[in-house]
Amino acid sequence: MSGSRRFFSTPIFKMRFVARPNRFLVHGRAPGRPRIEAFLPNPGRLRELLLPGATLYVTESPDPGATRKTRFTAVAVERDGAPVLLHTHATNAVARRLLEQRRVPTLEHAAIARAEAPVGRSRFDFLLRDAEGDLYLEVKSCTLFGNGVAMFPDAVTERGRRHLLELAELARDGVRAAVLFVVHTPNVRWFMPDYHTDLAFSRTLLDVRDRVRILPVSVTWRDDLTLAREARLLEIPWAHIDREARDSGAYLLLLELEDAARIEVGALGTVSFRRGHYVYVGSAMANLAARMARHLRPHKTRHWHIDYLRPRAARVEALAVRASSRLECDLAHALGRVLEPGPRGFGCTDCACATHLFFSAAPPLDRRDVHDILERFRMRQPQIVCGSGSSPS
């Protein structure tokens, strides 16, 4: 079986990403076509990929079926000049090909005995068989990467955590079990669970690693959406993950003001705020999740500067940057290089920073430069010595 065989039977064309009105639908434009609505078979956040103007790879079906509103399907997106597979259902076909061509490291001698293999009340993607007997394999698609690091998941996945626990239970009964993370880029060296987004999944992965084989495999996609021959096993820095996957660190609070406002902000007095988007940098070296949850509540006793601004925001979101060391000021300095500084002294009365609030006319998560900063601080390479006070590489 050729490694360059196509995974999609219908022709592929490219369009520019415009919007994502819901998890499973994207809008885009292509030359000579009206605005296109395409099905997106991926419930992940994909924010660092679906930036305005990003190139999407789209297939067209002449008969989409009664359950589909559109005949178009977005199957991949371009990043750094190369496609990244978005079609989560196609990942099992990728895994099958890798297994059949003996390209999954440590599973070269395993054959597929069955797909969608049931075990009790569970069902796993593959049952493999080799000289040692049966091995149950679950497959996950990994599209989140940067700074040489791939991470999974990019959204909270209780289902994924349950799969880990079910595989670990099989292992307790003497049945071999593994998870294959198909990482859709060659530009990474390490794999880690995304403890910033899903701490529970990450701690569970740590707990089961001695019973369940964890296999993150990097693949390369060509422009025609054929798969290159190389498949490489990534390093997992378990000690780094164990140290950093804690409920502590920094956070970003993203706020949108629909109208300009003048607001009394404690000792800062009356402060003028423009209509637009604001990013606040804070930290909590214990109970980080509770601190972020507090900020999301519009009404509470005012304690910090941000408590005066929060009730005026139409939309608010919190992003964790978990770490064992204090990154708050380094993160604020990095954001200050790409965003406009907010009021002097805002949120930084206990440090030497000019401000911990920043302004952007456009949504910050629509900006590549903001995602670059998030990747530097969230996807820290394991050789960085935590607690040194230096910025991430």
For residue 170, the one-letter residue type is L
Give the helix, strand, coil percentages of the chain, each rounded to 5: 20, 35, 40
In CATH, 12-80 is 2.40.50.580: yes
- Domains 12-80 and 90-244 belong to one CATH topology: no
Fold of 90-244: Trna Endonuclease; Chain: A, domain 1 (3.40.1350)
For 204-244, the pLDDT digits (tens) are: 999 999 999 999 999 999 999 999 999 999 999 999 999 99
Q: Among all chains, which residue has been given the structure tokens 């064309």?
A: 13
> 297 Cβ partners below 8 Å, 6+ apart?
none
- What is the edge-to-edge ordering of all strands in the sheet holding 276-284? 315-322, 249-257, 276-284, 357-360, 340-341
Q: What is the block-wise mean pLDDT of the chain (393 residues), using blocks of 10 residues?
A: 67 96 96 92 96 96 72 96 95 97 96 95 95 97 98 96 97 96 98 98 98 98 94 97 97 98 96 98 98 94 95 97 97 98 96 97 98 98 55 39
Q: Tell me which residue of 197, 201, 194 sits closest to 289, measured CA to CA.
A: 197
Q: Which helix (H) or strand (E) holds 216?
A: strand 213-221
For 55-78, the pLDDT digits (tens) are: 999 999 877 665 678 899 999 999
Q: Give the domain ranges of the chain.
A: 12-80, 90-244, 249-378
Alpha-carbon gap, residue 53 to 120, rounded angstroms: 46
Q: What number of H helices and E strands is found in the chain?
A: 8, 22
Q: State residue 389's pLDDT score.
A: 39
Q: State residue 378's pLDDT score.
A: 98
By the 10 Å C-beta count (0-12 exposed, 13-18 middle, 19+ buried), 293 is classed as exposed
% of the chain with per-residue pLDDT over 90: 89
